[in-house]
Amino acid sequence: MTHSADRASAAGHGLAHQDILSVNQFNTDMLGAIFALTDEMRSTVRASGGCDLLRHHVLTCLFYEPSTRTSASFIAAMERLGGSVIPITQGVQYSSVAKGESLPDTIRTVEQYSDAIVLRHPEVGSARVAAEAASKPVINAGDGAGEHPTQALLDLYTIHNELGTLDGLHIAMVGDLRFGRTVHSLTRLLLQYDVKLTFVSPEILRLPLDLMNAVRDAGLPVRETYSVADVIGDVDVLYVTRVQKERFTDLAQYDEAKGFYNITPDLMRDAKSRMVVMHPLPRVGEISDAVDTDPRAAYFRQMENGMFIRMALLAAVLGKA
Q: Which residues bind ligand ASP (CB under 6 A)?
A: 142, 148, 181-182, 241-242, 244, 280
7 is catalytic: no
Among the listed residues 13, 57, 121, 148, the single catalytic one is 148
120 is catalytic: yes
Nearer to ligand ASP, 196 or 245 (CB): 245
Nearer to ligand ASP, 188 or 242 (CB): 242
181 is catalytic: no
Q: How far is the CB of 244 from ligand ASP (least distance, A)?
A: 6
Question: What are the distances in angstroms from CA 305 to CA 43, 274, 302?
Answer: 12, 20, 5
Residues in Cβ contact with 295 at an 8 Å cutoff, skipping those fewer than 6 apart: none
Among the listed residues 13, 42, 57, 120, the single catalytic one is 120
Nearer to ligand ASP, 17 or 283 (CB): 283
What 3-state DSSP class applies to 118?
strand
Question: Taking a C-beta distance cutoff of 8 angstroms, is the pair 156, 167 a contact?
Answer: no
DSSP string, 129-145: HHHHH-SS-EEEEEETT
Among the listed residues 46, 99, 249, 293, the single catalytic one is 99
What 3-state DSSP class applies to 51?
coil
188 is catalytic: no
Nearer to ligand ASP, 159 or 321 (CB): 159
Give the CA count within 13 Å in the CB-facing half-sphere of 178: 15
Q: How far is the CB of 186 from ligand ASP (least distance, A)?
A: 11
Q: How far is the CB of 265 from ligand ASP (least distance, A)?
A: 23
Residues in Cβ contact with 266 at an 8 Å cutoff, skipping those fewer than 6 apart: none
Q: Which residues are marked as active site?
A: 69-70, 99, 120, 148
